[in-house]
Chains A and B, each alone.
Chain A
């Protein structure tokens, strides 16, 4: 069978993933492109006896070297085999989309232009002459609507004829000086799969990723020097490109002015972007989400734990052997993972995806940026930090959206103070259940203050270049549920495939160590720690083994204390226990993920120092309170 591979390219918020889902249906394989968490989604579709593979790339404004998204899209575009690209354009701001189109055309990729949001444009009095656009660019232009399915068949038919699309249908001619510079660079460029003219332009635009195409290493260094004098032409290239895009857009657009009234969006934005109400709404939204999650999480937890108990009872737990213990511990680990983390993590990531697709998340990011910048972090670090409220492991990986390793590590270190679902279970299940809600809130406040002190300390230690903050606020839209599920699944994947099996493994290892009475061995060497914390010596077991399986920390504490927490521990001891077990890199899985991102040395240093910091702090507070 004939097969084709087409890339889906477009600016952020042009409805690319909706088109992707509408084209291929639910059979989607998600692949994190090697090197980033920015996702590339692939799926195949049979149409007219041809197998078409669609590759959904992260949204980009242009092909340059600024963001992780652009790097990934560039990689897919230039390093993978592809037959062509579908560039999705937004009819409301055609010139902007055409900028991307013109750049893809410069790379001589056979391109089909799909035009989305024509209805929105119509409401604003904008009418676009698709045929005229096609005549100017000499590429197929197809109006589509992923929500109603309009135009999709035409788009598919056009993809079948992708081989017939001109490789160089429309080329911008730049001004003299630029064309001269291009001509000068052309012979110095290596033979590559990319058109030399495109490479030359990228080099003139000072895109460092393209310096490698220069023939001579010396030329690369030379280029950096030479280009300094070419500042003006460097800027003129994008200006001409955008100018051309807007000239073409003007040519094919007819605007009938429509009376614009201040709609709901403006009213909502007035509150969400308000100096005081904005951060308040942002904070309360997340509080409400967590309130709801704790409620549903508890329900789910009760349900799953009952199920496992019944299951274990049917095995006849009386029959004691290593095999049954392993089975029981494995199942308990699984139950803990499924019951605490799955509903909590999955629902949370689902809600987050919903907020994102409605358009609310970008407003929340604007509010969060005000505080994040005080910590020296860019606005986009909001997402990994918030993901940390679900599970630390995928959150650690999500720090890759930040642009420098230093920034990534700094953001990852803050995850030590952001309680993941398992740590939240300790705070709510132990501190909240036995000490009351105020004690739980006190623990949370301690985490917050400890985290802020840590952050300001780090900020003093390392110098971080301030990232410019530039963010588009998409219009509010009704979310496509299918999209939201696909997105949360991408974020969940690490959790299901990596964290869950390790939770089971952690449970089993703990079970085996318990049978072998290995757990007692650590009580003595750790007695200085428990003494410092003012805790009974046996508390070393949940503190230490919690690192294997954080979800079991609570259960371990109950088992070593004989289910009588309030009789054995004072509220103050419950507090120190909760603080000591929640500050720091939470578990071996998170440590593993950090190691993969930052190497063993850095991760172990972070884990050791953050855990030490937590224990030091908890013990200090214990001492200070005792004085009074």
Chain B
């Protein structure tokens, strides 16, 4: 039941209130608890994300992406998506190397600045 509510919250944002209940019901049995936990965290803590350039820890949770349009889709389609775990592999002079879903990606500072990350303990 907890699962169901968290999903409903999320989909209210994405798809409007009417369908939220129905969709949450359909999807809930095939979404892992982890994703739901992540989704809940984004929906409640969205404002508290720290910019990736200022983020000091090794692991984080992507909270939000504030972006110009064209690049937004590129970033999303590379798997940099709210709710995903992000590992800061290495800070390099021209940006930061991150790992999302086991894929290594180099982001320059301008892009990294617009990705907001939350503290996250890898369980």
Chain B residues, Cβ within 8 Å of A373: 94
State the Cβ distance, B115 to closest chain A Cβ, in Å: 11
Q: Is A100 an interface residue (CB 8 A)?
A: yes
Q: Is A595 an interface residue (CB 8 A)?
A: no
List A residues 236-291 near B (Cβ within 8 Å): 236, 238-243, 246-247, 250-251, 266, 269-270, 273, 275, 278
Given A93-B101, A247-B30, answer yes or no on A470-B106 (Cβ-Cβ < 8 Å). Answer: yes
List B residues 55-113 near A (Cβ within 8 Å): 67, 69-79, 81-82, 89-90, 92-95, 97, 101-108, 110-111
User: Which of A173-181, A314-322, A518-526, A559-567 contacts its partner?
Assistant: A173-181
- Residue pairs across A and B with CB atoms within 8 Å: the count is 138
* Residues of A contacting B: mostly: helix
User: Which of A57-65, A381-389, A418-426, A441-449 contacts its partner?
Assistant: A57-65
A459 to B106 CA separation, bound complex (whole angstroms): 25
B73–A205 contact, CB under 8 A?
yes
A339 to B110 CA separation, bound complex (whole angstroms): 47
B77–A238 contact, CB under 8 A?
yes
Given A236-B14, A242-B81, A247-B27, answer yes or no on A472-B94 (Cβ-Cβ < 8 Å). Answer: no
A247 to B11 CA separation, bound complex (whole angstroms): 12
A471 to B97 CA separation, bound complex (whole angstroms): 9
Digitize B11-48: 1 where CB-to-A-CB distance is under 8 Å, 0 elsewhere: 10011101100000001001110010000000000000
Given A175-B16, A175-B19, A247-B27, answer yes or no on A270-B90 (Cβ-Cβ < 8 Å). Answer: yes
Q: Is A96 an interface residue (CB 8 A)?
A: yes
Partner of A176, one of B19, B69, B77, B79: B19
State the Cβ distance, B7 to closest chain A Cβ, in Å: 10
B111–A242 contact, CB under 8 A?
no
Digitize A145-175: 1 where CB-to-B-CB distance is under 8 Å, 0 elsewhere: 0000000000000000000000000000111
Chain A residues, Cβ within 8 Å of B32: 250
State the Cβ distance, B46 to closest chain A Cβ, in Å: 13
State the Cβ distance, A190 to closest chain B Cβ, in Å: 23
A473–B77 contact, CB under 8 A?
no
Q: Is A397 an interface residue (CB 8 A)?
A: no
Q: Which of A231, A236, A250, A466 has the most CB of B within 10 A?
A: A250
A185 to B67 CA separation, bound complex (whole angstroms): 25
**How many residues does chain B have at the interface if contact means C-beta atoms less than 8 Å apart?**
42
Residue of B nearest to A243 (CB): B14
Chain B residues, Cβ within 8 Å of A176: 15-16, 18-19
Partner of A246, one of B35, B97, B104, B111: B35
Chain B residues, Cβ within 8 Å of A471: 105-106
B74–A62 contact, CB under 8 A?
yes
A10 to B120 CA separation, bound complex (whole angstroms): 32
Partner of B103, one of A96, A174, A239, A369: A96
A64–B76 contact, CB under 8 A?
no
Partner of A370, one of B18, B93, B102: B93
Chain B residues, Cβ within 8 Å of A64: 70, 73-74
Given A175-B16, A243-B14, A470-B107, answer yes or no on A95-B74 (Cβ-Cβ < 8 Å). Answer: no
A92 to B101 CA separation, bound complex (whole angstroms): 8
Chain B residues, Cβ within 8 Å of A236: 14
Given A96-B101, A273-B92, A469-B106, answer yes or no on A239-B31 (Cβ-Cβ < 8 Å). Answer: no
Given A251-B30, A366-B94, answer yes or no on A468-B73 (Cβ-Cβ < 8 Å). Answer: no
List A residues 48-96 near B (Cβ within 8 Å): 61-62, 64-66, 92-93, 95-96
State the Cβ distance, A115 to closest chain B Cβ, in Å: 16
Interface size class of A (residues with CB under 8 A): 35 or more
A247 to B31 CA separation, bound complex (whole angstroms): 6
Q: Is A124 an interface residue (CB 8 A)?
A: yes
State the Cβ distance, B97 to closest chain A Cβ, in Å: 6
State the Cβ distance, A467 to closest chain B Cβ, in Å: 9
Chain A residues, Cβ within 8 Å of B70: 64-66, 206
Chain A residues, Cβ within 8 Å of B82: 239
Q: Is A417 an interface residue (CB 8 A)?
A: no
A239 to B84 CA separation, bound complex (whole angstroms): 12
Q: Which of B27, B95, B103, B110 has the most CB of A within 10 A?
A: B103
Residue of B nearest to A231 (CB): B69
Residue of A nearest to B12 (CB): A175
Residue of B nearest to A472 (CB): B105
State the Cβ distance, A33 to closest chain B Cβ, in Å: 21
Partner of B73, one of A238, A247, A251: A238
Residue of B nearest to A276 (CB): B93
Chain B residues, Cβ within 8 Å of A235: 67, 69, 72
State the Cβ distance, B83 to closest chain A Cβ, in Å: 8
A92 to B107 CA separation, bound complex (whole angstroms): 21
Chain A residues, Cβ within 8 Å of B72: 235, 238
B71–A66 contact, CB under 8 A?
yes
Chain B residues, Cβ within 8 Å of A234: 69
State the Cβ distance, A457 to closest chain B Cβ, in Å: 23
A366–B74 contact, CB under 8 A?
no
A251 to B32 CA separation, bound complex (whole angstroms): 8
Partner of B77, one of A177, A242, A269, A366: A242
Chain B residues, Cβ within 8 Å of A231: 69
List A residues 514-552 near B (Cβ within 8 Å): none
State the Cβ distance, A210 to closest chain B Cβ, in Å: 13
Chain B residues, Cβ within 8 Å of A369: 94
Partner of A470, one of B14, B16, B27, B111: B111
A240 to B104 CA separation, bound complex (whole angstroms): 23
Q: Is A99 an interface residue (CB 8 A)?
A: yes
Chain A residues, Cβ within 8 Å of B107: 469-470
A475 to B89 CA separation, bound complex (whole angstroms): 14
B94–A61 contact, CB under 8 A?
no
State the Cβ distance, B92 to closest chain A Cβ, in Å: 5
Chain A residues, Cβ within 8 Å of B104: 269, 472-475
B106–A177 contact, CB under 8 A?
no
Chain B residues, Cβ within 8 Å of A242: 76-77, 79, 81
Residue of B nearest to A254 (CB): B32
| 10 tightest A-B CB contacts, nearest first | A175-B15, A176-B16, A251-B30, A469-B108, A62-B77, A473-B104, A61-B77, A96-B79, A93-B101, A238-B73
- B contact residues vs A (CB 8 Å cutoff): 11, 14-16, 18-19, 27, 30-32, 35, 67, 69-79, 81-82, 89-90, 92-95, 97, 101-108, 110-111
A-B contact pairs, 12 of them (CB 8 A): A96-B79, A174-B15, A176-B15, A238-B77, A239-B81, A240-B14, A273-B90, A273-B92, A470-B71, A470-B74, A472-B106, A473-B97
